[in-house]
């Protein structure tokens, strides 16, 4: 049988209630089981449409299709990273970074608090739907904050993403209504710094 060669929704690395009180069980169920799942389904539907077009030797709307594919794959990849850089507060989540990530952030931003402020401002100022992402440029050996619009706009090609924060309304409305700032503050209590450091070490 031919391999499916399609995307698969990863399981959360913790249960839906693990990030309480910062993120509710209801929010995580909606966000992971519905929203993330929809990007996986969306990307796979396009891949299958393209497979069918190849079989039928048919044309398709290349511009619209690739734009939509970029959106869905971006959504899938970013959410997959997001779940992994979160962890239960007071266990693996929260606190301050240590190890190489601490050195890299302190050297670039002067202090962890200054990095935190810039990253929070990045998240707060996303116009509409998007993400704040901490990336690392191998060429300059510098961390660079990326403000992603939607799931795929403003992305620096090949920069390793170390940490992301989803600021689409679906990421916080069930718990925080329109108060994105409060959600961004809560995020710092559930960052899994060991995982962020691990991603940097694996570069």
Q: Which is nearer to Mn ion, 48 or 178 (CB)?
A: 178
Helix axes 62-84, 37-56, angle to 10 degrees: 150
Q: Are 131 and 164 in contact (CB under 8 A)?
A: yes
Instruction: Report the residue from 101, 104, 166, 195 that binds Mn ion according to the rule CB under 5 A.
Output: 166
DSSP string, the chain: --------PPPPSS-TTTTTTTS-HHHHIIIIIIIIHHHHHHHHHHHHHHHHHHHHT----HHHHHHHHHHHHHHHHHHHHHHHTB--BTTTBSS---THHHHHHHHHHSSHHHHHHHHHHHHHT--SSEEEEEEEETTTTEEEEEEEETTTBTPPTTPEEEEEEE-SGGGTHHHHTT-HHHHHHHHTTSB-HHHHHHHHHT-
Residue closer to Mn ion (CB basis): 73 or 171: 171
Q: Which of 168, 176, 183, 193 binds Mn ion (CB under 5 A)?
A: 168
As measured in angstroms, the least distance from the Cβ of 38 to Mn ion is 10
* Choice between 168 and 183, CB closer to Mn ion: 168
Q: Considering only residues 171-190, where is the footprint of Mn ion by CB under 5 A?
A: 171
Q: Tell me whether residue 172 or residue 193 sits nearer to Mn ion (CB atom).
A: 172
Q: How far is the CB of 167 from Mn ion (least distance, A)?
A: 9
Q: Which stretch binds Mn ion (CB under 5 A): 12-20, 124-132, 165-173, 177-185?
A: 165-173
Closer residue to Mn ion in complex, CB, 28/171: 171
Choices 6-14, 59-67, 163-171, 180-188 (CB under 5 A): range interacting with Mn ion: 163-171
Q: Closest by alpha carbon to 78, among 11, 162, 200, 14?
A: 162
Q: Cβ-closest residue to Mn ion? A: 166
Which span (85-93, 100-108, 123-131, 162-170) binds Mn ion, by CB under 5 A? 162-170
Least distance in angstroms from the C-beta of 82 to Mn ion: 7
Binding positions for Mn ion, rule: CB under 5 A: 166, 168, 171
């Amino acid at each position: 049988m031919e391999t499916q060669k399609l995307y698969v929704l990863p399981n959360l690395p913790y249960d839906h209630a693990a990030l309480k009180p910062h993120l509710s069980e209801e929010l995580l169920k909606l966000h992971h089981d519905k929203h993330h799942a929809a990007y996986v389904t969306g990307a796979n539907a396009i891949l299958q449409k393209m497979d069918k077009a190849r079989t039928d030797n048919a044309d398709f709307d290349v511009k619209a299709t690739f734009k939509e594919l970029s959106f869905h794959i971006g959504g899938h990849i970013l959410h997959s990273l997001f779940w992994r850089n979160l962890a239960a507060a007071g266990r693996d989540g929260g606190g301050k970074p240590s190890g190489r990530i601490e050195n890299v952030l302190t050297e670039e931003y002067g202090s962890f608090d200054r990095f935190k402020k810039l990253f929070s401002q990045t998240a707060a100022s996303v116009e509409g739907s998007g993400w704040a992402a901490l990336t690392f440029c191998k060429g300059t050996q510098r961390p660079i904050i990326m403000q992603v619009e939607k799931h795929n706009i403003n992305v620096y090609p090949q920069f390793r993403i170390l940490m992301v924060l989803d600021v689409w309304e679906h990421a916080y409305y069930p718990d925080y209504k329109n108060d994105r700032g409060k959600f961004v503050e809560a995020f710092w209590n559930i960052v899994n710094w060991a995982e962020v450091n691990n991603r940097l070490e694996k570069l």
